[in-house]
Amino acid sequence: MVDYPRRISTKYKRIEPLLEHHDADAYVHVGDCFDEVLTYLTRFNGPDRDYAFVYVNGTATLCPPDRFGQQAEREFPGDEVDMTRASERPPATERARTVLERNEMGDTLLLPATAKHRTVQSFREDGYNVVLTDAIDDIRRVKTNEERKLLQAVEFATQRGMARAETVLASATVDGGGLHWQGEPLTTEILRREVNAALARNGLDGAGNTVIGAGESCADLHYNGIDHIESGETVLLDLGPEGPHGYYGDLSRTFVVGEVGEWEQRAYGAVSDALDGAFDVFEDGAGQPASHVQDRVAEELAAYGFETGDVDVGMYHGAGHGIGSSLHERPFLSANEQLQTGHVVTIEPGVYDPSRGGVRLEDIVEITEDGYENYVQYPKEIVPEERTI
């Protein structure tokens, strides 16, 4: 059984420079369990209604919703959980204000750029000067030791999901062009359920991110429909499950059952070489622009005659993105950003032809001072085999 840490901490000190930069006195974040930055800050698996996080004078406080106090105390790595009784509990914004009022401070609040209008309005009506910033996303970019270990564990378990898919494909039979498995036509939906069940047994949640395309639908980057899988066509699997504490895995592989055609072979070769080229660039480690990776991927694909950018055939997406408590976060490899020690990013070259199929291969790497570490040991073979991990 894959084990995960029961608790994880947050480096609240990273909020300090943001406060200084904006000449602000406190950081306040109001949101619900669907807000991934709030989850990062609180490590609290709350409900679908508002709660609040306040950072002021070096103290991190969580104001949990009704009847979530016990859970908050179990999960929150900060300093204080506000345990106001349910019967006396005003809305989250008011409770945040109560925390602020206990402090000696100025009147400037820093809120995330994604803050709700009603939250901003409420603080302004109370006389606070509210400043919004998207720099809060920056503090998540460089992963701590704890986060890196957690991401490794989640990515390991994600590989178990892929192994289940590959095993099903390898044990499928071909009947008149179509694949059959356990006496039924094998569809992308059956494969998706098998993958999600394997992920669940390993403590992960498919989270609606188990993308499986077959043939033409591989060119649709987010295919979640039901296709009968055919012999000779590409089967593209991109798994992006959510694990404990809201940390994500991300892994793509592509298989062909039966005879591998010329296009499929060429596409797979191009994408494999693009991935190797990206690893060459990562060898140089931290300090270089992320766009070097994107450029190298484009070069390798071009050698096989595949275009990149806003095209209909070729590669029409970024080469990778940061991953952590969001599936997609900074740095984006297509952006003008520097790779830093402790960044964890996906690398996912792919080529697509909407008239026939698509190939994508994706690993996750951690950027180190003088190189990189690949979190993925999963083989890259176009013909599926039965696998146990």
User: Rule CB under 8 A: which residues touch a copy of itself?
Assistant: 1, 6, 33-36, 45, 47-49, 67-68, 70-71, 74, 85-87, 113-121, 132, 189-190, 193-194, 196-203, 205-208, 220-226, 242, 309-310, 316-317, 326-328
- Give 200 or 303: the residue with its C-beta nearer to a copy of itself: 200
User: Measured from the CB of residue 86, what is the shortest distance to a copy of itself in angstroms?
Assistant: 5
User: Measured from the CB of residue 149, what is the shortest distance to a copy of itself in angstroms?
Assistant: 18
Contact between residue 378 and residue 162 where contact means Cβ atoms under 8 Å apart: yes
Q: Which helix (H) or strand (E) holds 153?
A: helix 145-170
Edge-to-edge strands of the sheet including 173-175?
173-175, 178-181, 184-185
- Give 154 or 327: the residue with its C-beta nearer to a copy of itself: 327
- Give 96 or 327: the residue with its C-beta nearer to a copy of itself: 327
What single letter denotes the amino acid at residue 147? E
- CA–CA gap between residue 301 and residue 377 (Å, rounded): 23
User: Measured from the CB of residue 31, what is the shortest distance to a copy of itself in angstroms?
Assistant: 10
- CA–CA gap between residue 52 and residue 91 (Å, rounded): 9
**How many alpha carbons fall within 13 Å on the CB side of residue 84?**
20
CA proximity to 137, closest of 18, 253, 282, 280: 18
**How many alpha carbons fall within 13 Å on the CB side of residue 374?**
16
User: What tokens does 68 get?
Assistant: 């979530």
Contact between residue 309 and residue 213 where contact means Cβ atoms under 8 Å apart: no
User: What tokens does 5 get?
Assistant: 């840490």
Contact between residue 54 and residue 175 where contact means Cβ atoms under 8 Å apart: no
- Give 72 or 281: the residue with its C-beta nearer to a copy of itself: 72
User: Measured from the CB of residue 18, what is the shortest distance to a copy of itself in angstroms?
Assistant: 18
- Give 12 or 250: the residue with its C-beta nearer to a copy of itself: 250
First-to-last C-alpha distance (Å) of the chain? 11
User: Measured from the CB of residue 118, what is the shortest distance to a copy of itself in angstroms?
Assistant: 6
Residues in Cβ contact with 363 at an 8 Å cutoff, skipping those fewer than 6 apart: 251, 275, 346, 347, 348, 374, 375, 376, 378
User: Measured from the CB of residue 287, what is the shortest distance to a copy of itself in angstroms?
Assistant: 28
- CA–CA gap between residue 371 and residue 373 (Å, rounded): 7
- Give 213 or 282: the residue with its C-beta nearer to a copy of itself: 213
Strand 80-81 to 59-63 pairing: parallel
User: Measured from the CB of residue 34, what is the shortest distance to a copy of itself in angstroms?
Assistant: 4
- Give 6 or 145: the residue with its C-beta nearer to a copy of itself: 6
- Give 73 or 146: the residue with its C-beta nearer to a copy of itself: 73
Contact between residue 104 and residue 57 where contact means Cβ atoms under 8 Å apart: yes
What single letter denotes the amino acid at residue 205? D
- CA–CA gap between residue 263 and residue 356 (Å, rounded): 9
- Give 24 or 382: the residue with its C-beta nearer to a copy of itself: 24
User: Measured from the CB of residue 120, what is the shortest distance to a copy of itself in angstroms?
Assistant: 4
User: Measured from the CB of residue 170, what is the shortest distance to a copy of itself in angstroms?
Assistant: 20
User: Measured from the CB of residue 24, what is the shortest distance to a copy of itself in angstroms?
Assistant: 16
- Give 212 or 281: the residue with its C-beta nearer to a copy of itself: 212
